[in-house]
Amino acid sequence: MTSNSFHLAVMPGEGIGLEVMEAAATVLGAVEKRFELSFHQEHIPGGAHHYKETGAILPKDGLERAGKSDAILFGAMGWPDIRFPDGTEIAPQLDMRMAFELYAGVRPIRAIPGVPPVLAHERWKDIDLVIVRESTEGMFASRGKGEIIDDKEARDTQVITRKVTEQLTDFCCKLARNRRETRGTPGRVTLVDKANVFRSFAFMRKVFYETAAKHPDIDARHHYIDAMALDLVRRPWDFDVLPTENLFGDILSDLGAGLIGGMGFAPSADIGAAHGMFQPSHGTAPDIAGKGVANPTAMILSVAMMLDWLGERHGSSAARDAARAIELSVDHAFGTMNLRTYDIGGRHGTRHIGNTIAELIRNGQADPQ
């Protein structure tokens, strides 16, 4: 059934999460009007400061309320000085990935026109790939469960399951197909692993190829993680969809963000069978929090990813058009209007970016053709 009305759980968090969410809300307001969408926004607090004040990282019913929404819009949570008694960081986003089985951490790495090139190569502008970080198992399966034996040895165990690897592969093949249709990318899925050393990765690769065989139109390949670290710097324009294990994906997506101007330009979506959570790839950035200088582009592009996902799930072409308008407005703002955020040496603050992109959407200057 088609719906243009959506219930959103909005979780700004803390640090720059609050600031970039405010800019994203301005953009959301603009697309709501222009594309005749309707958003019911339910705000849910949470994070390290919430933990300090209340003893809990989220309100008691926070997870349940978020789970009942159509989509979760998440800013950033966590603070270096506020930790659990065992010294580990407060990261409700990791708990939510597990609780809602958000196995696909989708991190598009796309060169935005006008953002100064990081690589001195003419093909820099062709960078358009997606890292898909498996987000419920891998090395992170040991989070909070590792052991230290007699102060002499420490162990964390990696877990790779057939079920999740099949889900991840299916997801990536569909994503590559969709990108081929909408963006003209090659329809190629490259598993990033270390199957030459570890049994768990050899198993992952076997299941990957078994599952990819059900998608004969997709070009399925593999690449070792170490070689990928090299090639993402040397020739990132050659890659399309890159599924990988949780920890590898964590690291590679920061590398990817570095390629396109930094964390402020890297959006993300955490997708499961029943839920979707959308957040920038960056954290709370305490060093710049409260100064109004954070780059909200990653958060704004995460809103676009949310609208695309909602549009697909609910048959809403208005939501999909709104997603495209946000992306085009971002490109127009940086590529044509010389918008420059502080992280790339400019002087445009968080609010200015949000207002400019919202204005472009309102006046239809960057509408999809």
Segment 317 to 356, residues that bind ligand ATP, using CB under 6 A: 343
Rounded to a whole number of angstroms, the minimum distance from the CB of residue 2 to ligand ATP is: 34
Nearer to ligand ATP, 93 or 165 (CB): 93
Q: In terms of DSSP bridges, do strands 219-224 and 241-244 run parallel, antiparallel, or are they unpaired?
A: unpaired
Three-state DSSP state, 315: coil
* Min dist. Cβ of residue 102 to ligand ATP (A): 16
User: Closer to ligand ATP at the Cβ: 175 or 333?
Assistant: 333
Of the candidates 46, 47, 78, 311, which one interacts with ligand ATP according to CB under 6 A? 78
The string of DSSP letters for 168-200 reads HHHHHHHHHHHHHHHH----EEEEEE-TTT-HH
Burial of 273 from C-beta contacts in 10 A (0-12 / 13-18 / 19+): exposed
Window 13-32: residues binding ligand ATP (CB under 6 A): 16, 20
For residues 265-324, which are near ligand ATP according to CB under 6 A?
Answer: 282-285, 287-288, 294-295, 298
- In the block, which residue shows the tokens 């803390």? 14
**Complex with ligand ATP: residue 10 or 212, whichever CB lies closer:** 10
- Between 2 and 88, CB nearer to ligand ATP: 88
CA neighbor of 266 nearest in space, from 168, 130, 169 = 130
**Site for ligand ATP contains 263 (CB under 6 A):** yes
* Least CB distance to ligand ATP at residue 40 (A): 27
How close are the terminal C-alpha atoms of the chain, in Å?
A: 26
In angstroms, rounded to a whole number, what is the distance separating the alpha carbons of residues 25 and 358?
9
Q: Does 81 bind ligand ATP (CB under 6 A)?
A: no
Least distance CB 269 / ligand ATP (angstroms):
16
Rounded to an integer, what distance in angstroms lies between the CA atom of residue 69 and that of residue 62?
Answer: 11
Q: 166, exposed or middle or buried, with CB in 10 Å at 0-12, 13-18, 19+?
A: middle
Q: How far is the CB of 225 from ligand ATP (least distance, A)?
A: 19
243 binds ligand ATP (CB under 6 A): no
- Judged by the rule CB under 6 A, the positions of this chain that interact with ligand ATP are 16, 20, 78, 263-264, 282-285, 287-288, 294-295, 298, 343
